[in-house]
Structure 1
């Protein structure tokens, strides 16, 4: 029987593993060419054992790192463990063999130590264009083959020798080869670093010690997750919502039904009853995205870094107590070859509904309704010399009110953790200019003891003709208030032309919509719901919200029972505490 390592050695090896993963992530985003990786950091990196368990992960997008074990299992269908050789490097993005969606290409390298395969170094990153039917992003297509290049465990390096035919094939099948090939080079450098660092760790502490440490660390994280799940009363908890449409059949809502089953120290998310798979790319790869959303939401609620005093390693252990049921043929588990590129809004909503379902028994760990969507925008056009330009951006939204504080405004929430693109980067390189980027002011966040976060508005103007694709949702289903809080606001998308003056509303999802010079695409994100009774909100915070423009004076009176008086002090409003007490007493009555 293997003897457990002492706590100090375990902590040292665990810290080293985390450091390796972060170094891999840093190399990847610092060396990348496209802004979606270089600035937004839409990536994940880590080390894995020969059973495809996550040993460590970079502090980046939860979607990426949580999906990598699925990639490895998908690759194993083509390349068994005994077929790997030192210096091999594999590319993979097959949506029905573990990947999160086809633009997220994984780079995987085996790690050998003293002649033995001991694990894998791997990363994924979102590529700006893989030759799909529309530049950058894709929604309204018939099948996975329309999504662009499908790389099914393709060996780019064989014992250190590059497959030049495959390299040329990739370069010749993207609209922006300079960006894509540069990003692949960065991924390769990241994976190579992971191989070296893992080997160095074993050389320093011994292979047996490092492997034993990884097992103990995974077991520890699993115990901590199970202990938290066990605190939730056994039972079945329900929530449901809907998505706007599939990007083709506008107005036909898509149901999401969530049942959370708590059984001792295990949890199951059952998505039975959710909408059937769609005829567009608005479907979700099961292994690479649906499962990952389930892992994420429990780790976020139960093992959050900022609400847990202990350092709990991020590894496979947190995944083990969680299982998912999604009937084959539903939107969360489609049948091949259904397209599944536009899959993020669905898993955002699924995670939000899990939080809603568990709110009655986890009131101190839940939020009110979050924006829980995604605005992934692709702007593109053709330069005078015939070359394409493609720009991807992920726009912020807002969170719902929380047990002890307001929902954050204009943030990446839930499954996303990407950064915003600096406007200077946009203006220097592309015929696109940002006309507006600020806190939304046409709606109010959900009222509550802790109000919902306010959304963002972002307007991008074309300086030349081009086209745009938007992967977006939640123009109809309002983020909910909770425990007496009030609902937030839905999002919207608008097109305005500065020359004609015409403004019109757009559907949440656009696929390759032609744009003209002077067209301005404006995205307004949803705003979060309120948490708790608005009449319990600190009146001083209500005044602050009025002065900051988040709510109107009449809303302060109607929703919060706060009486304000106009004053000539440079601010315009002040509290009338006596009138507030009286007004709140009347409203409670």
Structure 2
């Protein structure tokens, strides 16, 4: 920004514009959530809405699902290049190609250019997970898939609306490649959200003028960058190393893949170098670079924004540089399958936090239990129609951090706690399921002065026909997954354990990246989701908090004594303070 422009900046007006941009993205999100048909959108909130300028810089975005949100921008330069001489007011472009900036084939972006007085001034974007986009398997999740064409129809950028009118032949072709009718309706809702965003953005520009708007936007982005760099400059400079492991690639359930990161902190800048990460997998567990960078952004945001308010724009991550070696599981060679790549965010988050623990020990979180949401497909006999859905209710626990216990049943780290669970009754209405149990899992939290979050226990009956049950996560016990790491004396968390019970009395363990076909009607799925790691010595935990969790049924008396050194009377539920002090002294010695 020139000195002349800086002299004309009104900081109060800049704050007003930033708030209005944020309000527009929230309006977009509300419209999308309330008009969409899929529970993936209207219950789980698996989408994001955002505004980008004519240079593809992020102006603002809603904080729904970060792994999608921070994965929305990378596709824009490809779209701009493809349509640079063919963009008009009212156009709408759909995109999902992971080899041209997408983060997952089923995380589909709707991009609408915004014009003011015939000049391109920005883009409105809505991006979310669509239930089905063709491919060999409903929903796209199948560990037998080895290339991107098997997972979904590949859309490197396709104009579906031109000058405000649907291009009928293109529209029909696109939705002929989905098995689920609500996908078309969800895309209409996404377009509607972009229309709301366009209207809101133009209202701001019309009120303040394009020149004033752009100069103040530059100021807002520069201020966010300055704020971020000032935080990073307080971190201990140096180079740090962390690693974590993904277990199972869908082909070999016992194979481990290392995610290694070397982090360098220097003068307000952070570089994350993932050299040393294992090579790409033969199955569907590779992560496109757009998704990997989004996962890094999530971890970074957790560290720079602990309770502070920072605007969500391009300046937020200008101090962060990421490198993902070509041919690795974080940057696979074309045409590798990638649909479970989002779930590797859990692994990246743990590796990054383990690297940062020396530089910013007061802000890092212990390991989260890696999430493992199930996926279901089949025929609903009540409607004689196909169904497809996720089991977002299978929620693992967050790792603890200094001063705070981990959240219970928070689930996928890539969603940063923003992905909601389906309402059990609504799930039963929509799909052929019966929910018998949905509760916290006792003794699942990693111990510590601040304990990890508890996992969950879910038991559900599958009443559909021709059912398939799959999983797309990590941290499964019988595959030998490493337990979530604790920090500074905190204990490790626990792992996941999923079991299918069939009507004939037999049962089968389900892997973390598995697909079980022809599951009989009336089968039961039990899901034990693990808890996060603890922070600090468990012998320093407040005995009153230990007692409260014992009385709530979350913690057993045995674990309270063995791990926390807290003696609780089984009859009264009261803490024996004298016995506790004696026991803790013995354990410390």
| Cα contact 2:471–2:511 (8 A) shared by 1 | no
| Cα contact 1:132–1:138 (8 A) shared by 2 | no
> 2:287 maps to what in 1?
284
Report the Cα distance in structure 2 between the residues aligned to 1:397 and 1:32, rounded to whole angstroms.
Answer: 27
Unaligned runs of at least 5 residues, structure 2: none
Report the Cα distance in structure 1 between the residues aligned to 2:493 and 2:345, rounded to whole angstroms.
Answer: 20
3-state SS, counterpart of residue 73 of structure 2: helix
Report the Cα distance in structure 1 between the residues aligned to 2:146 and 2:421, rounded to whole angstroms.
Answer: 31
| Cα contact 1:222–1:318 (8 A) shared by 2 | yes
Compute the displacement of 1:547 (Å): 1.6
Give per-residue Cα distances to partners, 1:183-233, cap 9 Å, x unaligned: 010011011111111111111111112112211111111111111111112
Verify: 1:355 aligned to 2:353, yes or no: yes
The structure 1 residue matched to 2:246, chosen from 240, 243, 246, is: 243
> 1:487 maps to what in 2?
492
Compute the displacement of 1:413 (Å): 5.0
| Cα contact 1:440–1:455 (8 A) shared by 2 | yes
Give per-residue Cα distances to partners, 1:503-562, cap 9 Å, x unaligned: 332211123532111211222222111111111111111111222222221222221111
Verify: 1:427 aligned to 2:424, yes or no: no
| Cα contact 1:445–1:489 (8 A) shared by 2 | yes
Note closer, same or farther for the CA distance 1:115–1:57 as it changes in structure 2 (3 Å cut).
same
| Cα contact 2:397–2:445 (8 A) shared by 1 | no
| Cα contact 2:244–2:350 (8 A) shared by 1 | no
Compute the displacement of 1:393 (Å): 3.2
Q: 1:377-392, aligned counterparts within 5 Å?
A: 377-383=374-380, 387-392=385-390
| Cα contact 1:128–1:392 (8 A) shared by 2 | no
Q: Which moved more, 1:34-43 or 1:389-398?
A: 389-398
Compute the displacement of 1:383 (Å): 4.2
Q: 1:24-173, aligned counterparts within 5 Å?
A: 24-80=28-84, 82-140=85-143, 141-173=145-177
Give per-residue Cα distances to partners, 1:320-344, cap 9 Å, x unaligned: 1111111100000001111111112
Give per-residue Cα distances to partners, 1:445-475, cap 9 Å, x unaligned: 1111111111012223111321122102112
The structure 2 residue matched to 1:318, chosen from 316, 319, 322, is: 316
> 2:373 maps to what in 1?
376
Q: Which moved more, 1:376-385 or 1:35-44?
A: 376-385
Report the Cα distance in structure 2 between the residues aligned to 1:246 and 1:414, rounded to whole angstroms.
Answer: 19
Q: 1:353-502, aligned counterparts within 5 Å?
A: 353-371=351-369, 373-383=370-380, 387-394=385-392, 395-416=394-415, 417-441=418-442, 443-465=443-465, 466-475=467-476, 476-497=481-502, 499-502=503-506
Report the Cα distance in structure 2 between the residues aligned to 1:413 and 1:469, rounded to whole angstroms.
Answer: 17
> 2:211 maps to what in 1?
208
Tell me the matched-pair count: 575
Report the Cα distance in structure 1 between the residues aligned to 2:312 and 2:516, rounded to whole angstroms.
Answer: 39
| Cα contact 2:343–2:414 (8 A) shared by 1 | no
Report the Cα distance in structure 2 between the residues aligned to 1:374 and 1:76, rounded to whole angstroms.
Answer: 35
3-state SS, counterpart of residue 64 of structure 2: coil
| Cα contact 1:110–1:119 (8 A) shared by 2 | yes
Question: What TM-score, normalized by structure 1, do the two folds share?
Answer: 0.95
Report the Cα distance in structure 2 between the residues aligned to 1:239 and 1:169, rounded to whole angstroms.
Answer: 46
Compute the displacement of 1:290 (Å): 0.8
| Cα contact 1:71–1:99 (8 A) shared by 2 | yes
| Cα contact 1:459–1:520 (8 A) shared by 2 | yes
Q: Which moved more, 1:543-552 or 1:123-132?
A: 543-552
| Cα contact 1:260–1:269 (8 A) shared by 2 | yes
> 2:331 maps to what in 1?
333
| Cα contact 2:447–2:564 (8 A) shared by 1 | yes
Give per-residue Cα distances to partners, 1:22-45, cap 9 Å, x unaligned: 101111111100110111111111
Compute the displacement of 1:55 (Å): 0.1
> 2:512 maps to what in 1?
508
Report the Cα distance in structure 2 between the residues aligned to 1:343 and 1:426, rounded to whole angstroms.
Answer: 26
Q: 1:539-554, aligned counterparts within 5 Å?
A: 539-554=543-558
Question: What TM-score, normalized by structure 2, do the two folds share?
Answer: 0.95
| Cα contact 2:371–2:412 (8 A) shared by 1 | no
Report the Cα distance in structure 2 between the residues aligned to 1:481 and 1:88, rounded to whole angstroms.
Answer: 50
Q: Which moved more, 1:339-348 or 1:182-191?
A: 339-348
> 2:189 maps to what in 1?
186
3-state SS, counterpart of residue 292 of structure 2: helix
Unaligned runs of at least 5 residues, structure 1: none
Note closer, same or farther for the CA distance 1:213–1:159 as it changes in structure 2 (3 Å cut).
same
The structure 2 residue matched to 1:199, chosen from 173, 179, 202, is: 202
**Superposition misfits of 4+ residues, deviation over 3 angstroms:** 383-387
Compute the displacement of 1:171 (Å): 2.1
3-state SS, counterpart of residue 71 of structure 2: helix
Report the Cα distance in structure 1 between the residues aligned to 2:142 and 2:380, rounded to whole angstroms.
Answer: 24
Q: Which moved more, 1:131-140 or 1:48-57?
A: 131-140
3-state SS, counterpart of residue 70 of structure 1: helix
Report the Cα distance in structure 2 between the residues aligned to 1:284 and 1:189, rounded to whole angstroms.
Answer: 30
Report the Cα distance in structure 2 between the residues aligned to 1:142 and 1:556, rounded to whole angstroms.
Answer: 47
> 2:301 maps to what in 1?
299
Report the Cα distance in structure 2 between the residues aligned to 1:45 and 1:584, rounded to whole angstroms.
Answer: 51
| Cα contact 1:282–1:343 (8 A) shared by 2 | yes
